[in-house]
Amino acid sequence: MVLDARRDLADRYLLPIANRMIDVDPDMLTWMAFGFAVLAGAAFYLGGVLFLLAAMFCVFLNALFDALDGRIAKLAGKASSRGDFLDHVLDRYADIFMLGGIAFGPYCDYRIGVLAVLGVLLASYMGTQAQAVGVGRDYGGLLGRADRLVITFIAAFLQLIVVLGNFGLTIIEWAMIIFAVFGNLTAIQRGVATWRKLSRT
């Protein structure tokens, strides 16, 4: 995961914002992040220049609120298993809404989209399954959620500018191919890592 290794850089910008929002309920931000994911999925599904702009804005706000909720919870002493559970559940639904909107919208072949959704969900499942069997949550691998959000934002931006015409694939379809390939590879990586840890124990 490229961006996961840059958390310190992100914290430089996010912590000042989190400190100003210390009185905001972190669960409310989690729900807001989810709401923007649903709106992003709807905008991707509808397509067109204005809806692509709206999708980019909603993807950005989803990423921002998703990054802030946990930081605010820790700073305010409100971190809890319940909040963590809510965050992870809504993140999975957010992934389905955003990628599903792309998969069944005008910019992507639904078969590529379904493979991308499958890869993303399996990668997340492998991370939590590692925790369930007692070897700790696995955030490793080639493609994490932060990476996907950045790629989705950039792909939507490029879709506004360039159409790949003769190749038969749109910019967003290329992004979904990345999710399909690297999402499934990430799931395999996490599965193998968990298997090895279980073998040692």
Q: Where are the alpha helices (DSSP H) in 104-170?
A: 110-132, 145-161
Domain boundaries, the chain: 3-200
pLDDT tens profile 4-37: 556 667 778 888 888 888 888 999 999 999 999 9
Average pLDDT, the chain: 85
Q: In the prediction, which pLDDT does 97 show?
A: 96
Q: Given CA atoms 122, 124, 125, 131 in this order, what sign does their dihedral have?
A: positive
The pLDDT of residue 163: 45
Residue with tokens 């100003």, as numbered in its chain = 20
pLDDT for residue 164: 42
Stretch 129-148: mean pLDDT, rounded?
79
Contact 183, 119 (CB under 8 A): yes
Residue 80 has a CB neighbour count (10 Å cut-off) of 12
- Quick one: pLDDT at residue 92? 92
Q: What is the pLDDT of residue 7?
A: 63
Query: Is a pLDDT exceeding 80 seen at residue 166?
Result: no
State residue 8's pLDDT score.
67
Instruction: Please check whether the domain covering 3-200 is classified as CATH 1.20.120.1760.
Output: yes
pLDDT band at 101 (very low <50, low <70, confident <90, very high): very high
What contacts 57, CB < 8 A, 6 or more positions away?
none
Range 42-49 average pLDDT: 90
Q: How confident is the model at residue 162 (pLDDT cuts 50, 70, 90)?
A: low
Q: How confident is the model at residue 107 (pLDDT cuts 50, 70, 90)?
A: confident
With 90 as the cut, is the pLDDT of residue 155 above it?
no
State the pLDDT at residue 142.
76
- Hey, what long-range contacts does 79-82 have (CB within 8 A, 24 or more apart)? 79/26
Cβ(138)–Cβ(193) below 8 Å: yes
